[in-house]
Every structure is written in C-alpha cells, then in structure tokens.
Amino acid sequence: MRSHLIGFLLLVFLFSPAYPSWALEHDYGKQYLVGADFSDTDLRGATFYLTNLQNANLSGSNLEGASLFGAKLLKTDLSNTNLKNATLDSSILDGADLTNAYLEDAFAFNTQFKDVKISGSDFTNVLITNDQRNYLCSIASGTNSVSTRNTRDSLECK
C-alpha cells in the first residue's frame, strides 16, 4: 500500500506543471502584441518581458507586480492602470498615456519617458533617474484619484 502511495505521489510530482496554471496564462514575454486590447483586465504578476506593446490598450487594468522589463510601450494607453510594484526598467514609454496611473513602488530606473501624459499619476517611491524625474516634473499636474496624491508631490518635484 505504501509503495502505491509513493508511486502515485511521484507521478503527480513528475507530471505537474512547475508553475500554477494562472501564472502560465499571464506570460506574454517576448511577444509581438502591437495594438492588443488588455483594457480592464486583471494582469497582476503578468510577464511582458521584452514585449512589443506599441499602441496597445491596457487602460483600467490591474498590473500590480507585473514585469514590463524592456517592453516597448510606444503610444500605449496605460491610463487608470494599477502599476504598483511593477517593473518597468528599460522600457520605452514614448507617447504613452499614463493619465491617473498608480505607480507606487514601481521600478523604472532605466525607463524612457518621452511625450507622455501623466496628469494625475502617482509616482510615490518610484525609482527613476534624475533626468527622467526632471522631465516628468516639467509636465506634472493633477491629483491621483486612487491615492489622492498630487503628481508633482509624488515625484518630489522642486
């Protein structure tokens, strides 16, 4: 009886996926998703590593803890998204709409922001370079509807 149980457990272990099924559903790494519509979608912990999301719609989505490392987010709609604890390092957000986005504790050190909309965005504790912070401060306005923080204050603008 004991040997049957050990054999059964061994089979379950060998043929079980290494990750839970929900994790596999949210792995979009290295894909071409230009113009994709992920609006109002729960994408917590999703992986968009080196993914091309140009002109995609992620508005209203929950991307908390998601990895967008090296993603191309040119002209992507990220308005009203939850990007708390997300990794945006080395991403390109040229022309992206971050209106009212919530980015608290996100990591965006080598992220490129150019011609972005950030009215009402919350950048509290977001790690970015000083030159990017200076640029964002030059266009910062509004108050985030989730945290009620002023965008300029969240960026620690002078």
The span from the CA of 89 to the CA of 7, in Å, is 45
Predicted confidence (pLDDT) per residue in 98-121, tens digit: 999 999 999 999 999 999 999 999
- Contact residues for 40 (Cβ-Cβ < 8 A; gap 6+): 59, 60, 61
pLDDT at residue number 1: 52
Please check whether residue 114 is in contact with residue 93, taking contact to mean a CB–CB distance below 8 angstroms. yes
Predicted confidence (pLDDT) per residue in 17-33, tens digit: 443 444 446 899 999 99
Helical ranges in 52-129 per DSSP H: none
In a domain? residue 81: yes
44 residue type, one letter: R
In a domain? residue 57: yes
Q: Which residue has the higher pLDDT, 11 or 28?
A: 28
In a domain? residue 4: no
What Å distances lie between residue 1 and 6, 12, 93, CA to CA?
9, 17, 60
78 residue type, one letter: L
In a domain? residue 17: no
Q: Which range marks the domain in which residue 94 is found?
A: 25-158
In a domain? residue 9: no
DSSP 86: -
In a domain? residue 2: no
Q: Is 21 left (phi over 0), alpha (psi -120 to 50) or beta?
A: alpha
Q: Count of domains in the chain?
A: 1
48 residue type, one letter: F
In a domain? residue 144: yes
What Å distances lie between residue 113 and 24, 36, 90, CA to CA?
30, 21, 10
User: Which of helix, strand or coil describes residue 4?
Assistant: helix
In a domain? residue 60: yes
Query: Residue 123: which CATH number?
Result: 2.160.20.80
Output the average pLDDT for the chain: 89
Backbone dihedral angles phi then psi of residue 30, each to the nearest 5 degrees: 55, 35
- Residue 2 — very low, low, confident or very high, per pLDDT cuts 50/70/90? low
